[in-house]
Amino acid sequence: MALYLAPVAGNAPGQSLGRHPALRPFTAPRAKAGAAGRVAVVLGLNHLASKPQPALWGLVPADFEARTGLALDDFADAIVQRPGFDLYVVSAHPSLEGVHPNPWAAVEVSHPGFRAVAGKLLDAAGLPSRLIDAAVPSSLFATGHLMVATQAFWQAYLEFVNGVLERGLAGVDPQLAQALTAPATQPGQMTVLELIVARLASLFLMAARRTPWKVCKLRLPAQEAALPPHFRTLRALKDAAVASPDNSLLECWLAYRNLFLLHTQGVDWVQARAAQLSPARLGRVVPPHPIEVVQLAPAVSATPGAPSPASGQ
């Protein structure tokens, strides 16, 4: 296995990678013309996928521990101890998993209109944009590109991502394409296109049925330990509702979620975001691939941030 660490702002030269032999530094190649070159992460992944790789590999930021509360050494060990999966993912924001129907809706609070814009890109790429309005299980929530996978998975997934970018950007009007790729307004903020790309793994797993990918989601001990009871209950209720053919359970989750937000955020906050918090028609999608959720043992020095129902990037 290889874990390639992409540099991030503030890294000191020669920073230690840790003790695990899988950890390797990575310097992204220069951006090239074309859709994939518009997203630095995709460019780096394409570059790595074009070269011979170990059975498992992934590209993660050097501030992985700051984002997740999990040391990179422990992340690598957790994967090694659970062989046999095609994809390993984590979610640095489990508080979003029970509050929002899906990873796409989680962005809507901070970026109103995100789903409408994403839907236009997906429509142009020939994908069923209705999937970004459906309620999905918490196992499909994952943070950006913090993934480790087999070479076969990366090849299939990157072919999917590159196709979405190429067909989507070519199929939307020039003004929308420019808005999608416009630089972020604040340092450290993702562009709209990067926000879309960060959620394509969930869409790939919902839409791709030909290959039975085996997925392992590693729940992060620091974030899980800080998750209040209501967040846990909302997540469990939504997962049960998605798995049930009875719509009343999904409606029960939505009513409970709305009451929770009214209590924690206030009436004005909820009313101002009513259109963003829930799609007009709430359906459900169960991923066709088996996803095993594993709770990792807590670390002694885990110090996560406080959960929030607002979206993260």
Share of the chain above pLDDT 90, in %: 55
Closest CA to 283 of 231, 223, 242, 239: 242
Does the pLDDT at position 94 exceed 90?
Answer: yes
Q: Beta 56-61 vs 23-25: how paired, if at all?
A: unpaired
Q: How far is CA 35 from CA 41, 156, 180, 202, 234, in A?
A: 12, 17, 11, 20, 38
Highest mean pLDDT among 12-21, 148-157, 283-292: 148-157
The whole-number average pLDDT for the span 122-141 is 90
Does the pLDDT at position 273 exceed 50?
Answer: yes
Q: Mind listing the pLDDT tens digit for each residue in 277-305?
A: 876 677 888 888 889 999 998 754 444 44
Long-range contacts of 270-277 (CB under 8 A, 24+ apart): 273/108, 273/109, 273/112, 275/112, 276/105, 276/108, 276/109, 276/112, 277/100, 277/105, 277/108, 277/109
pLDDT mean across residues, the chain: 85
Is residue 224 left, alpha or beta, with left meaning phi > 0 and alpha meaning psi from -120 to 50? Answer: alpha
- Determine the pLDDT at residue 302: 42
The whole-number average pLDDT for the span 100-109 is 89
Does the pLDDT at position 309 exceed 80?
Answer: no
- Determine the pLDDT at residue 276: 78
- Determine the pLDDT at residue 74: 93
